[in-house]
Structure 1
Amino acid sequence: MDIEHKQAELIGHFVKQAETHRGSALANVIVEATSDSSLFAFSEILAAPNVSELQGTEYSVFLDMLRLFAHGTWSDYKSNAGCLPQLVPDQVRKLKQLSVLTLAETKKVLPYDQLMLEIDVLNVRELEDFLINECMYAGIVRGKLDQLRRCFEVQFAAGRDLRPGQLGSMIQTLTNWLATSDNLLLSIQEKIKWADMTSEVDKKHKKEIEDRVEEVKKSLSLKQADMEFQGHEEIFYSEPGGVMDYEEDRSRPKRRRPPIS
């Protein structure tokens, strides 16, 4: 089963749980959801009416904890640990995974030093084990560990829940991208039109040259034929015993032989 399908099933399960529980039972559902090793999206659970009703009650800290898992990081938890329920080990691991995911969404190259600071690991070996076993095997990120450069090169990162106000920014980004794409498409169409026109001009020019070449060939052929014909005439009239010689011979007066005495 792929990660998207599994995510969808888990989200549907916990949304139903959130819709049918209240108070402490709902708090337990939130703890279970944020501890599940295969669940990394929480906005649908957060949107359940019963969850919103925790605000202002003795269980409101669990609502804050769910918001943390939807949008926050391990650093955010450390900064507000006094205002939130203590996390169990599965939740700690999950929040560190989400912290790596948050960094991977915004950068394609993550320095080891930054990652070790963000998820509180002490050495490179521990960091690489976490990236491989808890992130790449979980399917939330893919990438390459570069020990020489001491960095993680991100090739893929699953998306996290949208933070409040982030939707408007995404819409603006997509709008700008669409406008740029439209301009690029128009530019490409203009270039294609220009290329087609240039091609037609080239074809016409080539045809004109070919026609001129044919005319020159015909002209040369006619000149050659004419020269050959004239050459034959000169040979005909200059041959010994030819017509001209014969006519000239006939026009000469004949000598009379003197009488024999």
Structure 2
Amino acid sequence: MSDLSSKLEPFLLLARSTKGAAAAKIIVDATAAPGVYAFSELLELPNIQELSTDPSYQNHYRLLQLFAYGTLTDYESNPSSYPSLSPTHILKLKHLTVVSLALQHRSLTYDQLLSALRLDTIRQLEDLIIDVIYAGLLGGKMHHHEKVLHIDWVSGRDLQEKDLCKTAETLLTTLDTRILELKQSSAQELARSNEYKIYRDREYQMISLELKSSKARQDPFGDRALGSGIGAGPAEFGPGGGGMSQNALLAAIAGGGGMGGASGRLWVCSNFLDRSMYKADRELVVD
């Protein structure tokens, strides 16, 4: 957009030193000049703003506003409010109308564009869209068979004060929505984490009970062994406890110790308890 604005510079230099009819002539020339699509700086000049209160040149000031903010529909709704427009003016106004539509929609059907631009054929429409793209006003792809223009990016147009407020409100609303989405996502992640922890602890307790029950059936001294091993709690599995951590135990059981199904789980647990019993028996002998 800065490149587009720079093309207005020669008209700005002239407008700073002219008034009345000369300033009105600058408006007519600038709005018809090739490559000039941004007009806010010209509108802000005191010499140009004076035309808005001059009955002889008010329509020229409205013409500049039309090319800064308006569309072809705005012109056609009241053409007598503006000076007579040349075909070059009308063509540029159509370009700006495409930009305005592209700012509102990511995809534009050919029917929408044909109606808004007052064109009769698809060939005329596609030629105009190509001109708009080459002018650097937007980027997109025309789909001839689908009869739709997909917008990739658009340069934008001059903004009125009311548009600035509306844009700021839209941005704030979008930001608030995004923050709310992130909060909800974080809460859902926390809930899933808590559910997993509950499931993990429940599975661990079930496996521990299964080990106790199996060992008790196989070993008459199971109470002593279990009291020294599994019954001692998770601390017995940690560093310095002479055994496996809780996570390592669950991983070994999930792997089955090289064996499949429930028998694999019990095989791993039996070997683990044998080591625990050996440790407990050795401590009793030492005592």
Q: Does 1:160 align with 2:214?
A: no
- Residue 105 of structure 2: aligned partner: 107
Residues 6 and 38, structure 1, Cα contact 8 Å, conserved in 2: no
Structure 1 residues 220 and 175 mapped into 2: Cα distance closer, same or farther (>3 Å)? same
- Residue 117 of structure 2: aligned partner: 119
- Residue 208 of structure 1: aligned partner: 246
Give how far 1:69 is off. 0.5
Give the aligned CA root-mean-square deviation in angstroms.
3.0
Unaligned runs of 5+ in 2: 205-243, 254-267, 279-287
Q: Which of 6, 26, 31 lines up with 1:29 in the alignment?
A: 26
Give how far 1:66 is off. 0.3
User: 1:1-261, aligned counterparts within 5 Å?
Assistant: 4-57=1-54, 58-132=56-130, 134-191=131-188, 207-208=245-246, 210-211=248-249, 216-220=270-274
Q: Which amino acid aligns with 2:164?
A: L
Matched residues, percent identical?
Answer: 29
Q: Which amino acid aligns with 1:48?
A: L
Give how far 1:211 is off. 4.7
- The alignment partner of 2:149 has SS state of strand
Between the aligned partners of 2:147 and 2:36, the Cα distance in structure 1 is 29
- The alignment partner of 1:148 has SS state of coil
Give how far 1:64 is off. 0.7
- When Rg is computed on C-alpha atoms for both structures, the one with the higher figure is 1
Number of equivalenced pairs: 220
Deviations along 1:81-122, one digit per CA (max 9) or x if unpaired, are 222111123212110101111111111222222212222222
Give how far 1:195 is off. 6.3
Over 6 Å off, 4+ runs: 195-204, 212-215
Residues 116 and 127, structure 1, Cα contact 8 Å, conserved in 2: yes
Unaligned runs of 5+ in 1: 225-261
TM-score (normalizing by structure 1)? 0.72
Give how far 1:194 is off. 5.5
Between the aligned partners of 1:222 and 1:153, the Cα distance in structure 2 is 70
Give how far 1:138 is off. 0.9
Residues 31 and 64, structure 2, Cα contact 8 Å, conserved in 1: yes
Between the aligned partners of 1:124 and 1:117, the Cα distance in structure 2 is 11
- Residue 259 of structure 1: aligned partner: none
Between the aligned partners of 2:100 and 2:69, the Cα distance in structure 1 is 9
Between the aligned partners of 1:222 and 1:19, the Cα distance in structure 2 is 95
TM-score (normalizing by structure 2)? 0.67
